[in-house]
Amino acid sequence: MDLYEHQARQLFAEHGISVPDAEVVEDPKAARAAAERLGGRVVVKAQVKVGGRGKAGGVVLAANPAATEITARQILGMNIKGHTVHALMIAQPVDIQAEFYVSYVLDRAAGRFLAIASAEGGMAIEEVAARRPEAVARIPVDPAEGVTDGKAAEIAAAAGLPARAAAVLRRLWEVVVREDALLVEVNPLVRTSGGELVALDGKVTVDDNARFRQARWGGGDSTDPQAADPIEVAARAKGLNYVKLDGEVGVIGNGAGLVMSTLDVVAGCGARPANFLDIGGGASARVMADGLSVILADPAVRSVLVNVFGGITACDAVAEGIVQALDSVRLTKPMVVRLDGNAAAEGRAILASRAHPLVEQATTMDGAARQAAALAR
């Protein structure tokens, strides 16, 4: 469960981390009034649960209340990476002397958290990490031990942060623990001309399994209709395990591990997966039809890759499901199907007899990914 920036900043303030004064508004006139209360010159920030707002024009410095109202009209309703802006944060500007990056993220494979920090924060942190990885410190954090004074000092020193940043690192760890967070990020953490360390922007992801303890952010089974991707909402309504990605090859598989491997192979073929869709152990006609309808609803999809390994559910049953699904869903993009495992030969024969003009078959995952990537071009 991702939080909005203003919610993350609220958490930071509750845990003793300095943040600029700000107000959240939903219309231009309210934005103007907020700017008047905050001193006139403000930063207008789109509130969407996605990165890259600054480069997309969703973060703008407004010189006065009138300019704030005009800017608010321009940003409200803007589409940023598929997310529509419904709210703005109007914040006091800060005189920035230096920008830093600090975060904690759960490292599932290692069973611990990872502190990531750099003395070079801001919008270009991804470029810094790619060009000069030595400029980004990565320090393991044992959840049982947590971030002690010594660990905080170690992280700050490794990243080249001011010694005073250790106090911020300790408080950010409190956010991780008390708020059931999987990710806590401040980018940038700035040093002002007065020497104060201030969190200008924040990102917090709360563990979905802790929704019942974090009801103030929308606990239980609730979702944020303004932040949710419409395709993900449709998939959720159909009971599908679907995550939208920024690619052009739609992917359907049975089993999370197989789907993850398929995403990697597609990327290795020079294409980008458009989604993660795990149909689990069953591949009935209804499940396949639901999966295809969701994937085809994504305008970015140029080809579809179905990668199924037959186990408890045999491949001939999967093939029957695909054939029946093609009778109820109008296939508008080329589709590559790879069936392997239990009754794979029978399944391939069923698909061959259907002879759909947009359906191709492959016998290996690598071959299927290459075909799907080529068709997406």
Token pair recorded at residue 165: 């940043």
Dist. CA 152–CA 162, nearest whole Å = 11
- The confidence score (pLDDT) of residue 249 equals 97
202 and 239: one domain?
no
**Across-strand partners of 251?**
305
Q: Please, are residues 290 and 322 in contact by the beta-carbon 8 Å criterion?
A: no
**pLDDT tens digits along 328-337:** 888 999 999 9
263 and 372: one domain?
yes
- The confidence score (pLDDT) of residue 220 equals 42
A 10 A CB-CB count for 326 gives 20
- The confidence score (pLDDT) of residue 224 equals 56
Q: What is the pTM of this model?
A: 0.65
Note whether residue 113 is domain-resident: yes
- Segments in the chain below pLDDT 70: 123-124, 218-229, 281-284
Note whether residue 16 is domain-resident: no
238 and 177: one domain?
no
Long-range contacts of 117-124 (CB under 8 A, 24+ apart): 117/155, 117/156, 117/158, 117/159, 117/161, 117/169, 118/159, 118/160, 119/159, 119/160, 119/161, 121/187, 121/188, 121/189, 121/190, 122/187, 122/188, 123/54, 123/55
Last residue of a domain, one of 71, 91, 111: 91
Q: Which of 99, 120, 185, 320 is catalytic?
A: 185
59 and 134: one domain?
no
- Torsion 11-14-17-19 (CA) sign: positive
Last residue of a domain, one of 61, 91, 121: 91
316 and 289: one domain?
yes
Containing structural domain, residue 74: 21-91
60 and 107: one domain?
no
Residue 305 is part of a domain; what is its CATH number? 3.40.50.261
Catalytic, 134? Answer no
Dist. CA 374–CA 83, nearest whole Å = 29
A 10 A CB-CB count for 264 gives 11
182 and 76: one domain?
no
Note whether residue 182 is domain-resident: yes
- The confidence score (pLDDT) of residue 76 equals 96
> Helix, strand, or coil here: 322?
helix
Kindly state the helix (H) or strand (E) to which residue 296 belongs, with its residue range.
helix 285-296
Note whether residue 15 is domain-resident: no
Residue 47 is part of a domain; what is its CATH number? 3.30.1490.20
CA 214 to chain centre: 20
Note whether residue 254 is domain-resident: yes
188 and 256: one domain?
no
Note whether residue 284 is domain-resident: yes
Domain count, the chain: 3
Dist. CA 193–CA 50, nearest whole Å = 29
Q: Which of 23, 69, 99, 101 is catalytic?
A: 101
N-terminal to C-terminal alpha carbon distance within the chain:
34
Q: Please, are residues 91 and 45 in contact by the beta-carbon 8 Å criterion?
A: yes
- The owner of tokens 């940003």 is 75
- The confidence score (pLDDT) of residue 221 equals 43
Catalytic, 4? Answer no
Last residue of a domain, one of 42, 65, 91: 91
CA distances from 199 to 61, 93, 181, 342 (A): 17, 12, 17, 55
Dist. CA 358–CA 336, nearest whole Å = 8
Dist. CA 259–CA 266, nearest whole Å = 10
- The confidence score (pLDDT) of residue 226 equals 56
